[in-house]
Amino acid sequence: MLDRIIGPRRTRQFQRLLRNGKVTLLCLVLTIVVLRGNLGAGKFGTPEQDFKEIRDTFYQYRGKRTEPRRVLEELQTTIETTSSAETTNNYAEFDINKLFVDEEDDVKKNPNEPYSIGPKISDWDEQRGEWLKQNPNFPNFVNPNKPRVLLVTGSSPKPCENPVGDHYLLKSIKNKIDYCRIHGIEIFYNMALLDAEMAGFWAKLPLIRKLLLSHPEVEFLWWMDSDAMFTDMAFEVPWERYKDRNLVMHGWNEMVYDQKNWIGLNTGSFLLRNCQWSLDLIDVWAPMGPKGKIRDEAGKLLTRELKDRPVFEADDQSAMVWILASQKDRWANKVYLENHYYLHGYWGILVDRYEEMIASYHPGLGDHRWPLVTHFVGCKPCGKFGDYPVERCLKQMDRAFNFGDNQILQMYGFTHKSLASRRVKPTRNDSSNPLEVKDELGLLHPAYKAVKVSSS
């Protein structure tokens, strides 16, 4: 057909051109596709990533998350059939996430409003002092040397993603209950997220502020992470040492003020006095917390300013280091960085030495010889991903728990068969004169729990 217009030879050339063009085009498309499939192009990523992204967004609406680290998964896959889900008596078949129903919508926050942890209070010391005077039945000191302390800890109201996480949370709270019973400390176990913007490690700030203001009788608030365990049941915190201080954390002055090291102190276990100074500190501490852009930007600042800090969003510990280092004049004189005993004890250097400690030392020391607190930083037993191997974390948590539990059981004449064993064995014969049995560690009726006898 084209012959008639441009001549046969031209036609043939034209057809050849077309054919070459087709093949060239095909090869081009092929190359692009292969390149894209392997290397990704620009900001669009590979098709696989696209697919993953789409899947993720879809899953998000169903309440699941995928994260790129190592995964801890349940042995049994849940077998759900819509008909049997409501009538099954078998706990393994039930998906707990179907249980929760939020009846009211999230309160939409005005995005233009700057974050505020609460209305500014300036006369808390006066208000509290007045209240204490009017309520002599709720003194802030239970003994002349012993302030009233509230230990605060908590965990998520939803089940852990890790199937044994809740069991370790349970052991951890039992451990705290034991220590606090012996030392006359009250416990508040929090399972509520008070402020959705301050989620994650920042959730403790609105909680602490709320508890300080709602419990004026409490002199010291002791925050303790859920992954920290008491391993010295006999050690009593030296309260008189802190009579002029408002914040006690484990750490080192040089590492915080001189080096600005992000692990110069630890906010997993600290004491905060109930006073105006503390409210002011919380007001200064909170602004880096609100999740989203603020927290990310703050994280970049902290990574820049602090030594050795990896890149991630702002956390409360780094923020505290930065505040103390940059506003030293304002805060440092009321902050005590304690390192003579393990108000927080990093587990990595302690857990292998428990047998040695039992052989050479005794409870009541609180320091490297017999740590007060063993803190399993990085283990994250409730989540799916930790920074350490699962086996090491869980086995060592069992050992630390038993190490502390032995000191409780010895009051009643028992001990664990070994630090790895859940079984207990008696350490003495049952006596028909139980009150004459010696209480070796003096934990049954310690002096700091004595009640002032009033003549009435």
Partner 1 sequence: MGQEGAQKRGSSTLPTSTAPNGGSRTGRPLRGGSRQIHKTLNNIKITILCGLVTILVLRGTIGFGSLSTDNDLENQAIIEETNRILAEIRSDKDPDDPEDNQNQPTISLNDTYTLGAKISNWDEERTLWLNRNQDFPNIVNGKARILLVTGSPPGPCDNAIGDHYLLKSIKNKIDYCRIHGIEIVYNMAHLDKELSGYWAKLPLIRRLMLSHPEVEWIWWMDSDALFTDMVFELPLSKYKDHNLIIHGYPDLLFDQKSWIALNTGSFLFRNCQWSLDLLDDWAPMGPKGPVREEAGKILTANLKGRPAFEADDQSALIYLLITKTEWMSKVFVENSYFLHGYWAGLVDRYEEMMEKYHPGLGDERWPFVTHFVGCKPCGSYGDYPVQRCLSSMERAFNFADNQVLKLYGFRHRGLLSPKIKRIRNETVTPLQYVDQFDIRHSGQATATSN
- Coil, helix or strand for 431? coil
DSSP 256: I
Compute the least distance from the CB of residue 146 to partner 1, in Å: 13
Compute the least distance from the CB of residue 207 to partner 1, in Å: 9
Closer CB to partner 1, residue 254 or residue 389?
389
Compute the least distance from the CB of residue 223 to partner 1, in Å: 16
Closer CB to partner 1, residue 1 or residue 107?
107
Closer CB to partner 1, residue 278 or residue 318?
278
Rg (CA), the chain: 30
Phi (first) and psi of residue 281, to 5 degrees: -65, -40
Q: Interhelix angle for 316-326 vs 276-285, to 10°?
A: 110
- Coil, helix or strand for 86? coil
Give the span between the Cα atoms of 377 and 344, in whole angstroms: 10
Compute the least distance from the CB of residue 100 to partner 1, in Å: 6
Closer CB to partner 1, residue 231 or residue 261?
231
DSSP assignment of 202-238? GGHHHHHHHHHHH-TT-SEEEEE-TTEEE--TT----
Closer CB to partner 1, residue 290 or residue 299?
290
Closer CB to partner 1, residue 298 or residue 419?
419
- Smallest CA-to-CA distance from 97 within 87, 85, 113 is with 85
Compute the least distance from the CB of residue 162 to partner 1, in Å: 8
Give the span between the Cα atoms of 183 and 344, in whole angstroms: 18
Compute the least distance from the CB of residue 259 to partner 1, in Å: 36
- Cβ pair 415, 409 in contact under 8 A: yes
